[in-house]
Homo-oligomer: A and B are copies of this chain.
Amino acid sequence: MKPRDDKKADDIYKATLSLVKAKGLAGITMGEIAREANIATGTLYIYFKNKSELINSLFTVCRNASAAVYFKNFETSMPFKTGFKTIWYNLLNYRIKRFEEAVFIDQCYHSPFITETTKEMTKKLFMPLYSLIDSGKQQQLIKDHDTIMLLTFMAGSINETVKHAYYANRKITKEVAEEMFQMCWDGIKA
């Protein structure tokens, strides 16, 4: 069951993401995924034990990938605002560039496929963000609210804006991004 051909597993992932974006988790079949990935249905089952495992596996991959992106160029030694801005922009860019993955992850949360353990395991990846926010609070640079609340405030506005931009077929320019960041910062700053 361990995939020989890594490229093929990747093709399957890509096919799945593309179909989920187009039709939602509710609408995809193993047959369609196979066709989209240019392989036979049976081949899917060489790489993934079943549909649930394919979805869970892709979910994990996406979560890990996103975590990796989030902390690109980020150093714990940075001044708080620099670090925060770095991550904020990473988050925005991830959502824009890998929109499909973001949609997929969103859809997964309310699906019968994703197991609780899979959800748990992916939480830990974002610990560094928690620490950053905590340090910001200690330095009294940002409001002394619940950390998770501050984070969801930050993430929520990004997610929603990117979604809107995507469906309205509108680009998020450098200037718009800067405006968005300013709003977010004004919202959380002390």
Interface size on A, residues (CB 8 A): 44
Q: Would you call the interface of chain A mostly helix, strand, loop, or mixed?
A: helix
Task: Assess whether A27 is interfacial by the CB under 8 Å rule.
Answer: yes
18 contacts between A and B (CB under 8 A): A21-B110, A23-B110, A24-B107, A25-B110, A26-B26, A26-B112, A27-B111, A145-B176, A148-B164, A149-B179, A150-B183, A153-B161, A153-B184, A155-B160, A156-B160, A156-B161, A157-B160, A184-B187
A6 in the interface (beta carbon within 8 A) = no
Residues of chain B within 8 A of A176, CB atoms compared: 145-146, 149
Known: A161-B149, A161-B153. A112 touches B27 (CB 8 A): yes
Given contacts A25-B25, A149-B161, A160-B160, 13 further A-B contacts (CB under 8 A): A20-B110, A21-B110, A24-B110, A27-B111, A27-B112, A107-B110, A152-B163, A153-B180, A153-B184, A155-B160, A156-B161, A157-B160, A157-B187
The answer to whether A132 has its CB under 8 Å from any CB of chain B is no
Contact with B along A132-156 (1 / 0, CB 8 A): 0000000000010110111011011
- Given A157-B156, A187-B184, A179:B145 Cβ within 8 A: yes
By a CB distance below 8 angstroms, the chain B residues around A160 are: 152-153, 155-157, 159-160
Question: How many copies of this kind of chain does the complex include?
Answer: 4
Residues in chain B near residue A157, CB distance under 8 A? 152-153, 156-157, 160, 187
A112-B186 Cα distance, complex, nearest whole Å? 39
Name the residue of chain B whose CB is nearest to the CB of A154: B157
